[in-house]
Amino acid sequence: MIPASFEYAVARDVAHAIELLTSSGGEGKVLAGGQSLIPLMKFRLAQPAFLVDINRISGLAQIRENGDLRIGALVREADLDMNPIVRERYQILVDTTRVIADPLVRNMATVGGNLAHADPANDHPATMLALRASVVARGPTGERLIPIDEFFVDTFTTVLGPNEILTEIRIPKPPARSGGAYLKLERKVGDFAIAGVAVMLALDEKGKVGAVGIGVTNAGPTAIRARKAEEILRGQATDDKTIAAAAAAAAGESKPWSDLRGPAEYKLDVIRVLTQRAIRKAVARATGGK
Amino acid sequence: MAVETAPTTSKGQRTLKIHVTINGAPHDVDVEARTLLVHFLRENLGMTGTHIGCDTTNCGACTVLLNGRAVKSCTVFAVQADQGTVATVEGLEKDGKLHPIQEGFHQEHGLQCGFCTPGMMMTAVALLEKNKQPTELEIREAISGNLCRCTGYVNIVKSIDHAARVMRETAEGKA
Amino acid sequence: MAVEIGGIGHSVKRKEDARFIRGKGKYVDDVKLPGMLYLDIARSPLAHARIKNIDTSKALKIPGVVAVITGKDLVPLNLHWMPTLMSDKQMVLPTDTVLYQAQEVAAVVATERYIAADGVDAIEVDYEPLPVVVDPIKALQPGATLVREDREQKDNHIWHWEVGDKAGTDKAFKDAEVVVKQDLYIPRIHVSSIETCGIVASFDKVEGKLTVWMTTQAPHAIRTVIALVAGHLGLAEHKIRVISPDIGGGFGGKVPVYPGYVLAIGASVLTGAPVKWIEDRAENIQADSFARDYHISAELAAKKDGTMQALRVKTIADHGAFDAAANPSKYPAGLFHIITGSYPFEKSFVEVDGAYTNKPPGGIAYRCSFRVTEAAFTIERLVDVLALELKRDPAELRMQNFIPPTAFPYTSALGWEYDSGDYGRALRLAMDKIGYAELRKEQAAKRAKGELMGIGISSFTEIVGAGPSKNFDILGIKMFDSAEIRVHPTGKVMVRIGVKSQGQGHETTFGQIVAEELGIPVADIAVEEGDTDTAPYGLGTYASRSTPVAGGATAIAARKIREKAKLIAAHLLEANPDDVEWKDYKFQVKGVPAKSKTMQEVAFAAYTNHPQGMEAGLEAVDYYDPPNLTFPFGSYICVVDIDRGTGEVKIRRFVAVDDCGTIINPMIVEGQIHGGLTMGLAPALYEQITYDEQGNIQGGTFMDYLLPTAMETPNWETAKTTTPSPHHPIGAKGVGESATVGAPAAIANAVVDALAHLGVRHIDIPITPWKVQKILKEKGVAE
């Protein structure tokens, strides 16, 4: 499997990358971790005429807290996993990154790429939906902040313009007594999800759910946010009945399809089961457990 | 199709000269931008210890260390290694002395056909760099991106554990 | 002394490791010759279509493209078709019709690998789609789409094969107190060795000599096939050298001849340059020979007390578009009639019908002797179905029925003569090791709480070591194997054998056989194989035949050497040969241990001081025709837990007790079992190749063809019993495939056992989580 020929340029900085993309007249494609793009190119399913390599841009691979959590677009999955801040306060991100492909792929694959590729089977989209993240995009006319709810348009399509680059992901600071979890069922380790569910929630002093976000992987043309399920949980105690109702709602909002990862009907059940389990895990973590 | 010369952007290049340090030795080579790192090693440099087992970044037979990290060299362009370092199986033995991971695979019968072995060993080397005493589960997780069809993994796990033990003992001996 | 020799029974570390751990293995893709060209193949996107036109002009314009080959170019050379190993023929390149998706359509030869790929991309083919048949059962119905227009017979039926006593079996079923019946589908799977297939063909026009480096498990057979297929082009067998270098796993997938090999050879003959073809993984999975694809209907008749009486099996075998299996000629369904397994059925009848479909050809093994997994899986599943019917413990029912150890050699209802066995001993050991009684108690307690756990048993009998020349040949070539041993003057040894390792460790184990027989340390013995210019003729390595057949040849050749050496020793000891005995790895004058000669001393004398009238030198050759097959066996027990929410099956423990007769190298045998178990796990839970109605493969890459990783694979627990083969020179039986044969039934039986109290009797493999969860829902126990 050999990629078709292309032109290649290394971007010095974000401005240069944008300039390169602009000059290519829509033929350019950003090369970040390359772990989705390069296999597509080897099968010649993608044949970009021009690759803009952004890997050497400094400053895009940082993770820092500034009220919110800021993850540079070039942060590798393996680095997200190992980051002390993430490990300490964002277990849902650790859950997520650890089930993406395999450890070798995670050494190259970037968080930004996982989002920008807009594959509904990717894992970060659901988690970022649950976390109410936003992404920072820079283009010829400057920078904009895009709420994650508005980011995904369709399979492999985001709102990013052809000359725009995702530079950072921002995740709101988790409130007190909050916790999250991402659960994924896969046919074998390293596979894309049969289904995956991300739950992030905060509890008030009485144990009732405050802020809550639920995202689902492989449940439609893009990762989806299970709004009805969130609605059911909000303001409620996390008793079995409420959790079951929320889980059923999450399945109801999902539109998986039948494929080699199982029949759609099965996936709906998996989404329901994973939602229940993820809620329980998030609650446990919000209350100091694992 | 690909061969009908794609529109020229005049901003990029189809062929580049890259400088890569492989197993400590510098190489300056002209490569096509589309050359995969694994083909660069095997075809351009004749270093055939790194193998190719799939097209989809699943098997890990092509695993090398790029700037110290284990990556699948079939899913990296050679140009991405420009100014960087690459470590391959050919560099494991130093001054006629086998790396503990090589000894481990031999002692514990961690290989049969040998085809996945170089990639498996490079993954293990990277693991042992950051985790001196991995558990069985940690070893299994670390090699979950490397497929082996012959061994059933049991002896590979033992081989890596063997190497970890030897490396710890050596480190203690030195300390 | 014995340890130093490293003879039979010692876990000698592998000699071949030295190169592999340094990245110095020499695989086909590592061969690079001056001026070498690269060949790449354009393949059909459709499963059945008329080719209206192939436009190669754009490809030919690419700088570096040397040639494009289509079927029409091969017609004048009479190379557009080639024979298969099963008396069928197969297209090398089509002239007008393609019969399956990914079939070879044209080949591009270029100066570089990347340019060849560009050339393939630039070939434009105009297809007219034709109706497709993918289901062999539909394919055999009247009026079905005809796959093979080239045949005189205008239907999709390839052959009917049957064995056993039909009338007697039918009567036994009629009279039976209990009959159980189970339909099973054993899906199409693919061996997927981590190294794909490939070749470097180099034709020397001046010498008229063709040298090929090829991923083949049977280099001599390939040499003969090339001579037969391309003899008219001037390729004579003495000028064909086939080298099978280091092979990155075979498992049966590197036995057949694929069109890519023929194209590379043809391209080298035409261009006079060396030509390399290495397939990529997608081609490997999508076009190379598949395994299994058997639709089986099996019935077992028994008494109420559990005594098994008769077995009746009807099977439809899907062979794709060409019958390109690699079975012995007499057995189009392989050794499927080992299906009576470990049980003394009085009557049995088996019939198999082969069908053509618009799918890739094959029907090869998947790390199992010819069709033996299909057989073992069926009988071991069926025994559990009987146990459920009779409400009997499956271990107890097996113990009641096993062929007793006193009955060997035992002739089965379908005509095999089992050499030796002690099935009860193996099962008892497995039960002890896993704690069977405790597990049953735990299961009962869990069931009371609504938790699902299962225990599955498989007590399989294998049949390997093909085979006796009376019944076994491939393309007429008898299935003997060979060894040639030369002892050099300084006591060092060169052994050459007719088989070919693909990871089995022959360089070590065959050295150990010779070490044991000659008393020369294994370190002083070099083993070579895989080069037809130097190795004696043999049929190659598959069907676990290396040790049973070439191992026999090696032991006998060594014994021939010892016979001659004894005469030389007597000469050196100035004794009568009758007074000299071979003891403690030395020749000794009987009763006078001090008067002895080592084999090294004898070897030196063989060249410097041999008795007058005797030929100098110390070497021997043996072509071993085994008197019978060998019958390894074992008992496996698997414990699974099932997630009631997702339907996931988790293997908690797996104990494998194997008996492969005399063990040459316990370390290597255990490694073979670990690997075999993993290739038994794979089809039980993960691997399957399916097609849609249009014949499109569903998931033809490693993204969807799910080889188990270290995370899915349990920590296999192994144990052994040893029942030597009475007819084999060293008592060995072969072990490479037993575990692949035995494991799937143990896993499937464990899953069914977990659900048996809900009325479940069978689930087809691969047992995916959605199949399990569907059952859980239907039974009202899903989370």
Q: What is the pLDDT of residues C498-518, one digit of tens each?
A: 999 999 999 999 999 999 999
ipTM of this complex: 0.97
Active site residue C652: no
Is residue B3 in some structural domain?
no
Put simply, the answer to whether B144 touches A101 (Cβ < 8 Å) is: no
Domain residues for the domain of A256 are: 178-286
Distance from CA of C707 to the nearest CA of B (A): 7
Co-location of A209 and A123 in the same domain: no
The letter for the amino acid at C634 is G
Active site residue C103: no
Q: Which of B60, B91, B122 is the last residue of a domain?
A: B91
The letter for the amino acid at C52 is K
For the cut 90, the answer to whether the pLDDT of residue B97 exceeds it is yes
Q: Which of A171, A206, A238 is the last residue of a domain?
A: A171
Rounded to the nearest 10°, the torsion over CA C542, C545, C547, C550 is -100
**HEC readout, C186-240:** EEEECCCCCCCCEEEEEEECCCCEEEEEECCCCHHHHHHHHHHHHHHHCCCHHHE
Q: A263 contacts in C (CB within 8 Å)?
A: 770
Contact C647, C419 (CB under 8 A): no
For the cut 70, the answer to whether the pLDDT of residue C677 exceeds it is yes
Distance from CA of C700 to the nearest CA of B (A): 11
- Please state, as a whole number, how many other Cβ atoms lie within 10 Å of the Cβ of residue C330: 11
Task: Please compute the mean of the pLDDT values over residues C301-326 and round it to a whole number.
Answer: 97
At B47, which CATH number?
Answer: 3.10.20.30
Q: Which of A23, A47, A104 sits opposite B145 (nearest CB)?
A: A104
Q: What is the pLDDT of residues A137-190, one digit of tens each?
A: 999 999 999 999 999 999 999 999 999 999 999 999 999 999 999 999 999 999
Is residue A26 in some structural domain?
yes
Any chain A CB within 8 A of the CB of B137? no
Co-location of A105 and A182 in the same domain: no
Q: Which residue has the higher pLDDT, B142 or A25?
A: B142
Distance from CA of B49 to the nearest CA of C (A): 4
Co-location of A191 and A147 in the same domain: no
Mutation target among A107, A186, A187 for the B interface, most CBs of B within 10 A = A107
- Please state, as a whole number, how many other Cβ atoms lie within 10 Å of the Cβ of residue A45: 8
Co-location of B143 and B167 in the same domain: yes
Q: At what angle do helices B154-174 and C666-681 cross, to 10 degrees?
A: 120
Q: How confident is the model at residue A26 (pLDDT cuts 50, 70, 90)?
A: confident
Co-location of A161 and A183 in the same domain: no
Is residue A58 in some structural domain?
no
Any chain A CB within 8 A of the CB of C112? no
Q: Which of B37, B62, B91 is the last residue of a domain?
A: B91
Q: Which of C32, C194, C671 sits opposite B59 (nearest CB)?
A: C194
Longest dimension (CA), chain A: 62
Is residue B7 in some structural domain?
no
- Please state, as a whole number, how many other Cβ atoms lie within 10 Å of the Cβ of residue C694: 14
What per-residue confidence (pLDDT) applies to B101?
Answer: 98
- The helix (H) or strand (E) run that includes residue C675 is helix C666-681
The letter for the amino acid at C420 is S
Put simply, the answer to whether B51 touches C701 (Cβ < 8 Å) is: no
CA distances from B4 to C107, C177, C594, C606, C644 (A): 19, 74, 84, 70, 55
What per-residue confidence (pLDDT) applies to C2?
Answer: 46
Peptide bond into C409 cis (omega under 30): yes
Distance from CA of B80 to the nearest CA of C (A): 19
Q: B60 contacts in A (CB within 8 Å)?
A: 102, 104
Q: Which chains lie within 8 Å of chain C at 3 or more CB pairs, if any?
A: A, B
What per-residue confidence (pLDDT) applies to B4?
Answer: 37
Q: Which of C114, C699, C708 sits opposite A188 (nearest CB)?
A: C708
Q: What is the pLDDT of residues C16-62, one digit of tens each?
A: 999 999 999 999 999 999 999 999 999 999 999 999 999 999 999 99
Contact C532, C218 (CB under 8 A): no
Distance CA(C751)–CA(C317), nearest Å, equals 26
Put simply, the answer to whether A53 touches B79 (Cβ < 8 Å) is: yes
Q: How confident is the model at residue B175 (pLDDT cuts 50, 70, 90)?
A: low
Mutation target among A191, A266, A268, A272 for the C interface, most CBs of C within 10 A = A266
Q: A3 contacts in B (CB within 8 Å)?
A: 34, 36
* Mean pLDDT computed over every residue of chain C: 97
For the cut 60, the answer to whether the pLDDT of residue C165 exceeds it is yes
Is residue A67 in some structural domain?
yes
Termini Cα distance of chain A: 44
What per-residue confidence (pLDDT) applies to C232?
Answer: 87
Mutation target among A186, A188, A277, A281 for the C interface, most CBs of C within 10 A = A188
Put simply, the answer to whether A1 touches C280 (Cβ < 8 Å) is: yes
Distance from CA of C298 to the nearest CA of A (A): 28
Q: Which of A112, A140, A171 is the last residue of a domain?
A: A171
What are B5's two structure tokens? 């010369």
Q: Based on the structure, what is the number of domains in chain A?
A: 3
Co-location of B80 and B121 in the same domain: no
Which of C90, C101, C103, C217 is catalytic? The answer is C217
What per-residue confidence (pLDDT) applies to C433?
Answer: 98
At B128, which CATH number?
Answer: 1.10.150.120
Which among C456, C1, C305, C358 is positioned nearest to C144, based on CA atoms?
Answer: C358
Q: Based on the structure, what is the number of domains in chain B?
A: 2
- Please state, as a whole number, how many other Cβ atoms lie within 10 Å of the Cβ of residue C603: 25
Q: C191 contacts in B (CB within 8 Å)?
A: 149
Active site residue C197: no
Task: Please compute the mean of the pLDDT values over residues C283-296 and round it to a whole number.
Answer: 97
Distance from CA of C115 to the nearest CA of A (A): 9
At A109, which CATH number?
Answer: 3.30.465.10
Put simply, the answer to whether C773 touches A188 (Cβ < 8 Å) is: no
- The helix (H) or strand (E) run that includes residue A275 is helix A264-286
Put simply, the answer to whether B147 touches C709 (Cβ < 8 Å) is: yes
What per-residue confidence (pLDDT) applies to A171?
Answer: 98
CB pairs below 8 Å between A and C: how many? 61
Phi, psi of B130 (to 5 degrees): -105, -15
Q: What is the pLDDT of residues C120-144, one digit of tens each?
A: 999 999 999 999 999 999 999 999 9
At A281, which CATH number?
Answer: 3.30.390.50
Domain residues for the domain of B145 are: 100-174
Q: Which of B38, B64, B91 is the last residue of a domain?
A: B91
Co-location of A72 and A49 in the same domain: no
Which of C312, C367, C398, C486 is catalytic? The answer is C367
Task: Please compute the mean of the pLDDT values over residues C613-638 and round it to a whole number.
Answer: 97
Q: What is the pLDDT of residues C403-453, one digit of tens each?
A: 999 999 999 999 999 999 999 999 999 999 999 999 999 999 999 999 999
Which of C279, C309, C368, C512 is catalytic? The answer is C368
Percent of chain A's residues with pLDDT above 70? 100
Is residue A281 in some structural domain?
yes
Put simply, the answer to whether A260 touches C645 (Cβ < 8 Å) is: no
Q: Which of B3, B121, B148 sits opposite C62 (nearest CB)?
A: B3
Is residue A2 in some structural domain?
no
* Mean pLDDT computed over every residue of chain A: 97
Distance CA(A22)–CA(A165), nearest Å, equals 11
What are C62's two structure tokens? 């690419």
Task: Please return the burial class of C174, using the count of CB atoms within 10 Å of its CB with bins 0-12, 13-18 and 19+.
Answer: exposed
Task: Please compute the mean of the pLDDT values over residues B27-56 and round it to a whole number.
Answer: 97
Task: Please compute the mean of the pLDDT values over residues A27-52 and round it to a whole number.
Answer: 96
Is residue A31 in some structural domain?
yes
Co-location of B168 and B123 in the same domain: yes
Distance from CA of C106 to the nearest CA of B (A): 17
Total length of chain C: 783
Any chain C CB within 8 A of the CB of B92? yes
Distance CA(C78)–CA(C55), nearest Å, equals 22
Distance from CA of A3 to the nearest CA of B (A): 6
At A43, which CATH number?
Answer: 3.30.43.10
Mutation target among B55, B102, B113 for the C interface, most CBs of C within 10 A = B113
Put simply, the answer to whether B4 touches C58 (Cβ < 8 Å) is: yes
Active site residue C367: yes
Q: A8 contacts in B (CB within 8 Å)?
A: 12-14, 16, 33, 77, 79
Is residue B155 in some structural domain?
yes
> Mapping DSSP to helix (H, G, I), strand (E, B) and coil, where does residue C361 land?
coil
Structural domains in chain C, sorted by start? 2-22+481-624 (3.30.365.10), 31-130+192-287 (3.90.1170.50), 425-464+631-783 (3.30.365.10)
Contact C93, C56 (CB under 8 A): no
For the cut 90, the answer to whether the pLDDT of residue B71 exceeds it is yes
Which among C9, C6, C5, C2 is positioned nearest to C722, based on CA atoms?
Answer: C9
- The helix (H) or strand (E) run that includes residue C281 is helix C281-287
Q: A20 contacts in B (CB within 8 Å)?
A: 11-12
For the cut 50, the answer to whether the pLDDT of residue C68 exceeds it is yes
Co-location of A229 and A157 in the same domain: no
What per-residue confidence (pLDDT) applies to B7?
Answer: 42
Q: How confident is the model at residue B10 (pLDDT cuts 50, 70, 90)?
A: low
Q: Which of C23, C118, C192 sits opposite B2 (nearest CB)?
A: C118
Residue C81 DSSP class: E
Co-location of B80 and B111 in the same domain: no
List of residues 6+ apart from A162 with CB closer than 8 A: A21, A26, A28
Q: Which of A43, A269, A276 sits opposite C773 (nearest CB)?
A: A269
Any chain C CB within 8 A of the CB of B145? yes
Co-location of B133 and B82 in the same domain: no
Is residue A1 in some structural domain?
no
Q: Which chains lie within 8 Å of chain A at 3 or more CB pairs, if any?
A: B, C
Q: How confident is the model at residue C233 (pLDDT cuts 50, 70, 90)?
A: confident
Co-location of B149 and B109 in the same domain: yes
Q: Which of A43, A260, A273 sits opposite C783 (nearest CB)?
A: A273
